[in-house]
Structure 1
């Protein structure tokens, strides 16, 4: 599983977890993977890390959603934003621009061109705000 596929599967897993409150993480992972796919360390880091840091990430995102709350975002957009901001802030061996571009591509794939622009603005501003808070 390459990183692009891991990101896609992580978004699908986080989406599923946001819809079905009673599902366990491991079950959501099993439901997301195709028969031949094996989850890798990067995929697990995205899913478990995003869940672990969700409240902190939501705080950063909420401050940069103009006219929205985190709960008003669609489930897919919320999953992409959370996972991507987690990657940008906590996975050090990936350049921020790569993570941002991957998030934009995911948003466009699920929601179209406008979703990509929206994701770019939200994540860029939330990332900058998070860095200022950490100083």
Structure 2
């Protein structure tokens, strides 16, 4: 599975976990739709779930006039996945992670999601680079 597809499927699974309180393994199986399991996808989903509080603490300071509770569920899931990738997957270039998250926001978010996601992740990247 290509990494772009794995990120998309990971987003779908994480969204399901966050919104419906679905078991992560069940959400992954549902998102895969009979495709084979993917290690990268599993790592993103379980990593984002395992580190959710820490990720939210990294994201929150960069949400000008917003709180995590007020974010659209899809934007929250995209930010968590990408922030996990920025923080823990050092072999993946930060710009690739941000570009992929922006593409997910364009595909699944509203008209403003991509700019919002790009802005927040750029600030998180700067913070992590310090």
TM surpasses 0.5: yes
Residue equivalent to 2:43: 45
Structure 1 unmatched runs, 5+? none
- In 1, distance between residues paired with 2:122 and 2:9? 23
The structural deviation recorded for 1:59 is: 0.3
Residue equivalent to 1:93: 91
Q: Which stretches of structure 1, 4 residues or more, deviate above 4 A after TM superposition?
A: none
Q: Secondary structure in 1 aligned to 2:37?
A: coil
Q: Is structure 2 residue 13 aligned with structure 1 residue 13?
A: yes
Match of 1:75 among 70, 73, 76: 73
Q: Is structure 2 residue 37 aligned with structure 1 residue 27?
A: no
2:102–2:115 contact (8 Å) kept in structure 1 = yes
Residue equivalent to 1:4: 4
Per-residue Cα deviation, 1:17-38 (whole angstroms, up to 9, x for no partner): 01112x2111111111112x11
The structural deviation recorded for 1:4 is: 0.3
- In 2, distance between residues paired with 1:44 and 1:105? 20
TM-score (norm 1): 0.91
Q: Secondary structure in 1 aligned to 2:69?
A: helix
- In 2, distance between residues paired with 1:126 and 1:113? 22
TM-score (norm 2): 0.94
Within a 5 Å distance, the mapping from 1:101-120 to structure 2 comes to 101-120=99-118
The structural deviation recorded for 1:112 is: 4.5
Structure 2 unmatched runs, 5+? none
Q: Secondary structure in 2 aligned to 1:14?
A: helix
Structure 1, 108-117 or 94-103: larger mean CA deviation: 108-117
- In 2, distance between residues paired with 1:31 and 1:128? 35
